[in-house]
Amino acid sequence: MKKPVFSRILLKLSGEALMGEKQFGIDPQVLKKYAGEVKAAKDMGVQIGIVIGGGNIFRGVENSSSGIDKVTGDQMGMLATLINALALQSALEHEGMVTRLMSAIRVDVVAEPFIRRRAIRHLEKDRVVIFGAGTGNPYFTTDTAAVLRAVEIEADVIMKGTRVDGVYDSDPERNPRAFKYDQLTYLEVLEKDLKVMDMTAITLCKENKLPILVFNMNTPGNLQRIVLGEQVGTKVMEVASPLIQNS
pLDDT in tens, the chain (247 residues): 689 999 999 999 998 888 888 888 899 999 999 999 999 999 999 999 999 999 888 864 454 446 788 899 899 999 999 999 999 999 999 999 999 999 999 999 999 999 999 999 999 999 999 999 999 999 999 999 999 999 999 999 999 999 889 999 988 888 989 999 999 999 999 999 998 999 999 999 999 999 999 999 999 999 999 999 999 999 999 875 444 444 3
Q: Give every strand in the sheet of 128-132, ordered side by side.
A: 112-113, 99-103, 128-132, 47-52, 8-13, 157-162, 212-216, 234-236, 183-184
Residue 60 confidence (pLDDT): 45
**Dist CA 55 CA 148 (whole Å):** 19
pTM of the model: 0.91
β partners of residue 112: 102
Residue 163 confidence (pLDDT): 86
Parse the chain into domains and list their residue ranges: 8-236
Buried-exposed string 204-243: b where 16+ CB fall within 10 A, e elsewhere: bbbeeebbbbbbebbeeebbbbbbbbbebbbbbbeeebee
**Dist CA 98 CA 89 (whole Å):** 9
**Dist CA 168 CA 225 (whole Å):** 20
**Dist CA 70 CA 62 (whole Å):** 9
Sequence-ordered strand ranges (E) for the chain: 8-13, 47-52, 99-103, 112-113, 128-132, 157-162, 167-168, 180-181, 183-184, 212-216, 234-236
State how far Cα 34 lies from the chain centre.
12
Asked if 4 and 44 count as a contact pair (C-beta separation under 8 A), the reply is yes
**Dist CA 161 CA 6 (whole Å):** 16
**Dist CA 11 CA 149 (whole Å):** 10
Helix (H, G, I), strand (E, B) or coil at 180: strand
**Dist CA 16 CA 163 (whole Å):** 9
Residue 247 confidence (pLDDT): 37
* Pick from 15, 4, 5, 7: nearest CA to 145: 15
Residue 245 confidence (pLDDT): 42
Pairing of β 180-181 and β 167-168: antiparallel
Residue 59 confidence (pLDDT): 61
* Pick from 96, 101, 79: nearest CA to 35: 96
Give the CATH number of domain 8-236: 3.40.1160.10
**Dist CA 48 CA 201 (whole Å):** 19
